[in-house]
Amino acid sequence: MSTQHSIDRATCADLDAADPLAAFRERFELPAGVVYLDGNSLGALPRSTPAHLERVIREEWGTGLIRSWNDAGWFDKPRTLGDRIAPLIGAAPGEVVLGDSTSASLFQVAVAAARLRPGRNAIVSERSSFPTDLYMLESVQELAGDGSGDPLERRLIDDESDLDAVLGDDVAVVVLTHVNYRTGRMYDLAEVTRRVHEAGALMVWDLCHSVGAVPVDLNAAGADFAIGCTYKYLNGGPGSPSFIWVASRHLATARPPLTGWHGHARPFDFGIDYAPADGITRFRVGTPQLLSVAGLEASLDVWADVDLEALREKSLRLTELFIALVDTRLAPWGVEVVSPRQSAKRGSQVALRFAEAGDALEAGDGYAVMQAIIERGVIGDFRAPDLMRFGFAPLYVSHTDVWDAVAVIEEVLASEVWREPRYARRGAVT
Ligand SMILES: Cc1ncc(COP(=O)(O)O)c(C=O)c1O
């Protein structure tokens, strides 16, 4: 933000008044007195969700009972809602289906991808992946081995610049997260996909921190597979289902490892042998968690009205404003911005930490500082060992929220209230 030295709260209010997305805030329930900067972990509640869930529960379940599998379209929901996610990620109709958890969906696509590259015995991912991705890949390595009985070899990169060193004609699949969960660093999806394809490997993207945060165009990039979650920026609700995207060109030949009856060509024949359904349906497994699916359905009504370019513009205005205010107001305490400063390389979140040189504060103090901030109504989160993470969901975070958040952080640091021992007590979830 070029005018950083002249920013005040009134400037932020002016930016809010001119914000083309401002009206979306009214479509969410947010508690009074809270600045919610954790929509990258769990999205806020859309106002329409409780009534929709009540209708699904009372009418579709209570009155419709078993008939709702047909009458309310329950059986096809993973497909019909997949088609509504498609425009958010540059996918075509029929390429997206709802899954179970993101972890399970990663397993589905990574094994399917490896099976499309037989004879290649390595899989590439990155050390800074969300750990569940690496944990799931351990099983993928074991189960999708090249037929020799040996597991696939794992090669981990630290950065995009390491790719060339690990990509060879023995690599089957590359699994990367588009926007990093800790730093918000964003890969150039098309460019990385191109390099992976040059080596003859297939590209799997984890879009957990991208969908609903930044524009994504999987088909323009020519990617192969993707997965993502819907409880973050998409606001589907806690535990809402993941989604799976498979490029049309792979749909006829891809063989997912979990071969449940909802992915069967004729589930109600109840035959004893598995036969994959046509198209993306073969990536389904079993009965979908329909109440969670209903939460997602309500939030997708909001997304149907969102202009994704305007979303990205606002996201960048918010993160640039936050970075400018951190630089000018929090520097005295050694607070540094860990996320990329170059906008094109940043998703919709900003991570901060205390510089090692900071005398009063150390890396781990970020946890206590975050708890003190949360108690004062500014909700972010902490990722060990040292990151304070703030997400900026453009549909409901305003420019004045950003101003107020930095003011609270400044007050917590200046007063040193965070040193009270209760703030250092850790809960099971940080
Ligand atoms: C990049 C990434 N992948 C996967 C997950 C988790 O997946 P699951 O939905 O299986 O808990 C997260 C959760 O925050 C994530 O950030």
> In this predicted model, what pLDDT tens digit does every residue of 206-226 receive, in sequence order?
999 999 999 999 999 999 999
pLDDT of residue 146: 64
**Out of 143-157, 209-223, 401-415, which region has the weakest mean confidence (pLDDT)?**
143-157
Q: How far is the CA of 193 from the centre of ligand 1 (A)?
A: 21
Every domain range in the chain assigned CATH 3.90.1150.10? 4-30+307-424
Q: Is position 25 annotated as part of the catalytic site?
A: no
Residues carrying CATH 3.40.640.10, the chain: 50-303
Give the distance (Å) from ligand 1 centre to CA of residue 229.
Answer: 7
Closest by alpha carbon to 85, among 94, 76, 75? 94
Please give the pLDDT value at position 6.
Answer: 77
- Arithmetic mean of pLDDT, 247-276: 98
CA distances from residue 236 to 130, 211, 304, 368, 396 in whole angstroms, order as listed: 20, 12, 14, 30, 15
Residue range 360-375: mean pLDDT, rounded = 86
Q: Which of 132, 183, 187, 216 has the most ligand 1 atoms within 8 A of CB, as the residue to mutate?
A: 132
400 close to 12: Cβ distance less than 8 angstroms: yes
Q: Closest ligand 1 atom, CA of 179? A: 1
Note the pLDDT of residue 427.
Answer: 79
Q: How far apart are CA 220 and CA 254, in angstroms?
A: 20
pLDDT (average), residues 108-130: 96
Known active-site residue 396: no
Among 225, 231, 243, 283, the one annotated catalytic: 231
130-154 average pLDDT score: 89
Q: Is the Cβ–Cβ distance between 179 and 210 less than 8 Å?
A: yes
- Residue 134 near ligand 1, beta carbon < 6 Å: no
* pLDDT in the model for residue 360: 54
Q: Identify the band that residue 363 occupies on the pLDDT scale cut at 50, 70 and 90.
A: low
Whole-structure pTM value: 0.96
| Choice among 130, 187, 354, 423 that is catalytic | 130
Predicted confidence at residue 2, as pLDDT, reads 47
Pocket-testing residue among 181, 232, 244, 387, ligand 1, by greatest number of atoms within 8 A of Cβ: 181
127 an active-site residue? Answer: no
The finding on whether 105 has its CB within 6 A of some atom of ligand 1 is no
Q: Is 206 an active-site residue? A: yes
Structural tokens at position 83: 């088609």
Query: How large is the average pLDDT for residues 366-383?
Result: 96
Task: Measure the CA–CA gap between 12 and 32, rounded to whole angstroms.
Answer: 19
Known catalytic residue at 389:
yes
Which of the following CATH numbers is that of domain 4-30+307-424: 3.90.1150.10, 3.40.50.300, 3.40.50.2300, 3.30.450.20? Answer: 3.90.1150.10
User: Is it the case that residue 123 has pLDDT exceeding 50?
Assistant: yes
pLDDT of residue 365: 87
Quickly tell me which residue has 């108690």 as its tokens.
Answer: 375
**Among the atoms of ligand 1, which is closest to the Cα of residue 105?**
10
Predicted confidence at residue 5, as pLDDT, reads 54
pLDDT over threshold 90, residue 147: no
pLDDT at 27 over 70: yes
Residue 220 neighbours by CB distance under 10 Å: 11
Give the least confident one: 335-339, 341-345, 363-367: 363-367
Q: Quick check: 117 pLDDT over 80?
A: yes
132 CA → ligand 1 middle, Å: 7
**For the residues 402-418, what does the mean pLDDT come to?**
97
Where helices occur in 222-345 by DSSP H, the ranges are 248-251, 290-303, 308-329
Residue 4 pLDDT > 50:
no
Q: CB count, 10 Å around CB of 418?
A: 21
Mean pLDDT of 297-313: 97
Residues 110-114: what's their mean pLDDT? 97
Residue with the smallest CA separation from ligand 1 atom 16 is 181
Q: 181: Cβ below 6 Å to ligand 1?
A: yes
CATH of 50-303, one of 3.30.450.20, 3.40.640.10, 3.40.109.10, 3.40.50.460: 3.40.640.10
Residue 219, ligand 1, Cβ within 6 A = no
